Amino acid sequence: MKIAVCVKRTPDTEARIKVGADGISIDPTAVKFVMNPYDEFAVEEALQLKERAGGGEIVVVSLGGDAAKDTIRAALAMGADRGILLQTDTTLADGLPVAKAIAETLEGESCDLVLFGKLAVDDGNGQVGPMVGEILGLATVTAVGQLDIDESHGTAEREIEGGVEVVEFPLPAVLTTEKGLNEPRYPALKGIMAAKKKPIEVKPVTLAPAACEIVQLTLPPQRAGGRIVGDGVDAVPELVRLLREEAKAL
């Protein structure tokens, strides 16, 4: 089984965000970057599928600047076999040109499965995975929380409002992974050492022009919070009164 996993380098979820001097992107200084958390579930799932199948190949694909090599390296340290960096210094708010560039590369790889995280925690777009699926004309299931796969078919579960959809699909397929699908492993020292020797192919790409552009990036207004009603259980009646009479929330 050949599996491609697409990963993105994003700020750590604990990072504080500041708007950069250009007013349309963040100031990356002092921001710690990591592999997009949802992509870790995709990498882990690929590793488990390969282990269960007793063989196969896992190709890690990332689109970004040279620093995205670190993200690919992190996936290789977890156990993936080789990497492809689609190298560009352009960062787009638009998922479509990104999906086109990734789809073009994947077309040459003929994978049984292509995995993405369900969304990236930076732009929050949640669209590149299913767009790649459509462009490649493959069966696509998003936000997969549970997965069973045999040679030619799969069954996935995805959470919907007030229920869980059980979805059947044929292979090859594109899937995006939701938290809860698995527990991503930490790379062992041996894996980290081995990753240094695994190949990363660098392919420069030129993205198609964006038709969705950020014109302004702002921080949300600060909440005027900070009011302590009181200490301990004696403050409860006053809290209830404020919620009813002042906030009119009850």
Partner 1 sequence: MTRVLAVLEARDGRLRAVSNEIVTAARALADALGGTVEALVCAADEVVDASSVGVYGADTVGVLTHQAFARYSPDGFGEALAARAASSRAVVFAATATGRDLAPRVAARLERSLATEVTEVGVDGSAVTATRPVYAGKAHALVKLTGEPALLSVRPGVFTPREDARPGTLSIEPVTLSAAPRVVVREVKAPPSAQLDVAEASIVVSGGRGLQDPSNFAMLERLAAALGRDAAVGASRAVVDAGWRPHAEQVGQTGKTVSPQLYFAVGISGAVQHLAGMRTAKVIVAINKDRDAPIFKIADYGIVGDLFEIVPRLTEELEKIAAS
Of 25-84, binders to partner 1 (CB under 8 A) are 26, 37-38
Compute the least distance from the CB of residue 226 to partner 1, in Å: 5
The closest alpha carbon to 135, from 171, 91, 105, belongs to: 105
Q: Which residues contact 232 (CB under 8 A, 6 or more apart)?
A: none
Structure tokens at 240: 């209830």
Nearest CB to partner 1, comparing residues 93 and 194:
93
Strand pairing of 33-35 and 200-204?
unpaired
Could you say whether residue 111 binds partner 1 (CB under 8 A)?
A: no
Could you say whether residue 16 binds partner 1 (CB under 8 A)?
A: yes
| Contact range with partner 1 by CB under 8 A, out of 56-64, 80-88, 177-185, 193-201 | 177-185
Question: Between residue 129 and residue 158, which ones bind partner 1 under the rule CB under 8 A?
Answer: 129-131, 133-135, 139-143, 145, 155, 157-158
Q: Which residues contact 22 (CB under 8 A, 6 or more apart)?
A: none
Size of the site for partner 1 (CB under 8 A): 86
The gap from C-alpha 230 to its chain's centroid, in whole angstroms, comes to: 42
Nearest CB to partner 1, comparing residues 28 and 193:
28
| Contact range with partner 1 by CB under 8 A, out of 52-60, 80-88, 186-194, 232-240 | 232-240
Nearest CB to partner 1, comparing residues 57 and 122:
122
Could you say whether residue 207 binds partner 1 (CB under 8 A)?
A: no
Could you say whether residue 116 binds partner 1 (CB under 8 A)?
A: no
d(CA 197, CA 77): 10
Could you say whether residue 204 binds partner 1 (CB under 8 A)?
A: no
Looking up tokens 């996936």 gives 75
The gap from C-alpha 125 to its chain's centroid, in whole angstroms, comes to: 10
d(CA 196, CA 193): 6
From candidates 21, 150, 227, 245, binder to partner 1 by CB under 8 A:
227
Helix axes 37-53 and 68-78, enclosed angle (nearest 10)? 40
Question: Between residue 83 and residue 102, which ones bind partner 1 under the rule CB under 8 A?
Answer: 93-96, 99
Strand pairing of 173-177 and 57-64?
unpaired
